[in-house]
Amino acid sequence: MPGQEQLKSSVIDKDLCSGCGMCLGLCPYIKTVLDRVRVIHPCGINEGTCYKICPKTSLDISWLDQLVFSQPRRDQALGVYRSINFARACNKSAGAQYGGVASALMAFAIDRGLIGGVVLTGGTALDPKPVLAKTGHEVLSCAGSKYTAVPTLAALNQAVRTSAERIGLVGRPCQIQAVRKMQHVNYMEEYLNSGKSVQLTLGLFCFWSLKSGFYDYLAQKACGEEVLKVDIPVEGLTVTTSGGVSTWPVDEIRHYIKDACISCTDCTSEWADLSVGSTEYDSEWNALLVRTAAGDDLVNLAVKEGVVEVRPYPEERLPILRKAVLNKKMRILDESGEVVWDYLKVPGEYMAEIRKQWEVLQ
């Protein structure tokens, strides 16, 4: 198994790094600023954990399905899940995106003692940063989507050294992938608990994240006013500032999309316990995919305690979501139908199914 040198040559130098942050803090040689992750000094170690856990060194989709769910997927768009619903927080916190379900569920999990802390992205829209929240209140204060690639998992590596044992994570799909890979790296367990200590993963819907240049763009658009909230629904970039709400076409920010995100097939955090996203339909609600028993238990308890409410995902909306996801998956194929990206391992039967399910929706 290769190490830092190959991580640099095959991921970082090729702009495939999505800035998940999983490799940060394992050693003193990989550092970050903004959305950037760089090797600053050769470590000299041939085999590196950094390479093993990076979601962009290899991503074997059916292997991950087996690892997390012990079964292959039937739905090539959304992966393995138990249920899909609309959900919203009963008491939505200020700044929360749509229904506020992600913040509400994680704050609830901490308050009930199910987990000791949550690693998530906090800070402000113009200055997002990794945070380890240890109280429900702290979780709620981090509510609201950050659209730039914040290497949040750096906080996870730090958290396992300092305090919390049972950690929850709110992350982008690549971050869920990295944590799943980390959980699998057995030899690590003796020294590093970054994977093991993660007890609950809440993945976000993510079609792409943005480069840090987006901050400057945003600041310029805000014309000196405080940026309160950012949203990128179908109709375009919507920025809420102290002066009001403005919308710009998505095309204006397209060149800020990270190169790494173009090759990504995972739009709904397919290996998380729970996946949460926009409904693209009703801004008061979130889409909520329950994928594992652990996720199911939390949602059931939260519903019972009146923390969140759920309702069935509207039948007519599901094909729209699945089509959007499958469109992105089809884009990673070249003209001959092969996967363009070396690191992506998509088995033949999955590939055939993706095509089939996509064609049905056309």
Partner 1 sequence: MSFFGVSLDRPGHSVVLTGNEAVARGAIEAGVSYAACYPGSPTAEVLPTLARLGDRFNIYTEYSTNEKVAIEGAAAASFAGLRSLTICKADGFNVALDFATAICLSGSVGGMVIMVGDDPAAHSSVKEEDSRFLARTANLPVLEPATVDEAKEITKSAFDLSEKLALPVVVRCTTRICHASGDVCLGELPQMVKQASLSRDQKSITSALFASFTKNKLKKAAALAENSPFNFYTGPENAKRLVVASGPSYTYTAEALEILELAGSVGVLKLSTTWPLPEELILKHLKTAGEVIFAEEVDSFLEDGVMTLAARHWEDVGLIKFYGKNSGDVAGPGGPFVGELNPDIMTGCLGKVFGVSYTPPEIPNIQEARGLIKNNLPGRELALCAGCPHRASYWALKTAVELDGRDVIVLGDIGCYTLGLRSTGYNVLQTVHCMGAGVGMASGLGKLDRFNFRQPVISVVGDSTFFHSVPQALINARYNQSELLCVVLDNETTAMTGHQPHPGRGVNAAGLQVGRVEIESVLTGIGIPVTVHDPYDVEGTTRVIFRLLQEKGPRALILRRACALVSVKGKKKDRVYVDQELCIGDSCGCARFCSRVFACPANIWDNEKGKAHIDEAVCIGCGVCASLCPQKAIVVERTV
Question: Tokens 């590596």 — which residue?
Answer: 157
The window from 34-42, 280-288, 319-327, 329-337 that contacts partner 1 (CB under 8 A) reads 34-42
Is residue 28 involved in binding partner 1 (CB under 8 A)?
A: yes
Least Cβ distance, residue 27 to partner 1 (angstroms):
4
What is the total residue count of the chain?
Answer: 362
Sign of the CA dihedral running 95, 99, 101, 107: positive
Locate the DSSP E strands across 150-197. 167-171
What would the two tokens of residue 59 be?
A: 């991503």
The window from 46-54, 75-83, 263-271, 295-303 that contacts partner 1 (CB under 8 A) reads 46-54
Reference 288, options 158, 105, 75; nearest CA is 105
Is residue 26 involved in binding partner 1 (CB under 8 A)?
A: yes
Is residue 98 involved in binding partner 1 (CB under 8 A)?
A: no
Helix (H) or strand (E) holding 201: strand 198-204
Least Cβ distance, residue 33 to partner 1 (angstroms):
5
Distance in angstroms (rounded) separating the CA atoms of residues 131 and 117: 10
Least Cβ distance, residue 167 to partner 1 (angstroms):
17
Out of 29, 108, 214, 350, which residue is the one contacting partner 1 (CB under 8 A)?
29
Is residue 186 involved in binding partner 1 (CB under 8 A)?
A: no
Out of 70, 71, 113, 162, which residue is the one contacting partner 1 (CB under 8 A)?
162
| Alpha-carbon distances, residue 107 vs 58, 86, 138 (angstroms) | 33, 19, 8
Out of 71, 113, 186, 191, which residue is the one contacting partner 1 (CB under 8 A)?
191
Per rule CB under 8 A, count of chain residues that contact partner 1: 23
Is residue 36 involved in binding partner 1 (CB under 8 A)?
A: yes
Out of 16, 17, 18, 49, which residue is the one contacting partner 1 (CB under 8 A)?
49
3-class DSSP state of 86: strand
Reference 275, options 358, 116, 169; nearest CA is 169
End-to-end CA distance of the chain: 42
Is residue 311 involved in binding partner 1 (CB under 8 A)?
A: no
The window from 32-40, 114-122, 315-323, 338-346 that contacts partner 1 (CB under 8 A) reads 32-40
Is residue 152 involved in binding partner 1 (CB under 8 A)?
A: no
Binding residues for partner 1 restricted to 259-298, rule: CB under 8 A: none
Distance in angstroms (rounded) separating the CA atoms of residues 23 and 320: 35
Reference 150, options 36, 263, 230, 262; nearest CA is 36
**Site of interaction with partner 1 (CB under 8 A):** 25-29, 31-33, 36, 38-41, 43-45, 48-50, 161-162, 190-191
